[in-house]
Amino acid sequence: MPQRQISYREALAEAIIEEMARDDRVFLMGEDVGVLGGAFGATPGIYAKFGGERVLDTPISETAIVGYALGAAMAGMRPIAEIMRVDWMTICMDEIVNQTAKMRYLSGGHPEVSLVIRAAAEGGIGLGGQHSQSFEAWFVHVPGLKVIMPSTPYDIKGLMKSAIRDPNPVICLEPGVLYGVSGPVPTEEYLIPLGEAEVKREGKDITIVAWGTMLPKTLNAAQTLAAEGVDVEVVDPRTLRPLDIDTVIASVKKTGKLIIAHEAMKTCGVGAEIAALVQERAFDHLDAPIQRVATPDVIIPVNRALERVVLPQEATIVNTVKAVI
């Protein structure tokens, strides 16, 4: 029987509902997550099912949201805190970086700080420089945080369930442009372990590591290149911290070539870390220099035509592969 197809946002909401039903300690909080169902419609039906005691509409204060969630986690609860966009996580960086990430370590391992902080990330829908950014590298740089960036409905559900059950704080970055994209999701329960990459497409000529909105663009580019005789292997890290570099290196050893594609700015992006790790551990297997496909170091324009020029597209990947090959 073919698997059912549901959207990214439906899979996310389903994961949260299942975990709230499974564990009374799990609750959802954030701006407009209740009656409205989230600013991006990512939490529909949860308020109607669990009510205002477990689905909390908060004031417009990112500092308060994360501070409240951290306190609840230290008291034994398992909060899911939504920050509407990753851009506004800059407002509560002290609570995330200096408090949430370090609290368990500074407390001798007790109490657990089981806390998920969710936010929409990346551009592609014309929201401009303050609503289109990709800050995954910031959080990957912080010891004590785990960072996931699921790119498919299947992955967001399995990773979100694992994140909610994890005894440590997890940052979940959700590519906003993918909320409406549908894909196969089983009806039976499943979990995806944090720190486990997946080969989304097998190939032998070149490896492309991609996540976020760059994953579907990369898979489309791989199809285009296949028609021209180039066999691309696509690896999705899914979790950026801890990073499953072993799967990436195994792929590079097979293909001998590597491109890393992400929508975040090129300078000091997670792609640079992946490139460095492959250079350190698999240099002798490389037949060409590692290349990165990323957004140049500019502010994202609100004009849709200019935004499309700035953000890497499918054609950017195709041309980069041809240059490496």
pLDDT in tens, 195-204: 999 999 999 9
Question: How far apart (Å, rounded) are the C-alpha atoms in residues 236 and 102?
Answer: 28
Please calculate the CA angle 309-173-117 and round it to the nearest 5 degrees: 150
Per-residue pLDDT for 1 more than 80?
no
Report the pLDDT value the prediction gives residue 110, as an integer from 0 to 100. Answer: 87
Q: Is there a single domain that holds both residue 107 and residue 207?
A: no
Q: Is there a single domain that holds both residue 42 and residue 72?
A: yes
Report the pLDDT value the prediction gives residue 167, as an integer from 0 to 100. Answer: 97
Q: Is there a single domain that holds both residue 243 and residue 290?
A: yes
Residue 189 lies in a domain: no
Among the listed residues 19, 62, 122, 273, the single catalytic one is 62
Residue 193 lies in a domain: no
Q: Is there a single domain that holds both residue 169 and residue 245?
A: no
* Confidence label for 3 from pLDDT (cuts 50, 70 and 90): confident
Per-residue pLDDT for 315 more than 60?
yes
For residue 120, the domain's CATH number is 3.40.50.970
Q: Is there a single domain that holds both residue 25 and residue 153?
A: yes
Read off the pLDDT of each residue in 221-238 and give the average, rounded to a whole number: 98
- Is there a catalytic annotation at residue 122? no
Residue identified by tokens 């324009």 is 301
Read off the pLDDT of each residue in 36-48 and give the average, rounded to a whole number: 92
For residue 203, the domain's CATH number is 3.40.50.920
Q: Are 66 and 95 spatial neighbours (Cβ–Cβ below 8 Å)?
A: yes
Q: pTM of this prediction?
A: 0.96
Range of the domain at 106: 5-184
| Cα 190 off chain centre by | 18
Residues whose CB is less than 8 angstroms from the CB of residue 215 and which lie 6 or more positions away in sequence, other chains included: 151, 152, 200, 234, 236
- Is there a catalytic annotation at residue 280? no
Per-residue pLDDT for 241 more than 90?
yes
Q: What is the dihedral of CA 159, 165, 166, 171, to 10 degrees?
A: 50
Pick from 270, 275, 277: which is nearest to 288 by CA? 275
Report the pLDDT value the prediction gives residue 125, as an integer from 0 to 100. Answer: 87
Among the listed residues 14, 31, 95, 131, the single catalytic one is 131
% of the chain at pLDDT higher than 90: 96
Per-residue pLDDT for 177 more than 60?
yes
Report the pLDDT value the prediction gives residue 4, as an integer from 0 to 100. Answer: 94
Per-residue pLDDT for 85 more than 70?
yes
Number of domains in the chain: 2
Read off the pLDDT of each residue in 232-252 and give the average, rounded to a whole number: 98
How do residues 97-144 score in pLDDT, each as one tens digit? 999 999 999 999 888 999 999 999 999 988 899 999 999 999 999 999
Q: Is there a single domain that holds both residue 130 and residue 214?
A: no
Average pLDDT, the chain: 96
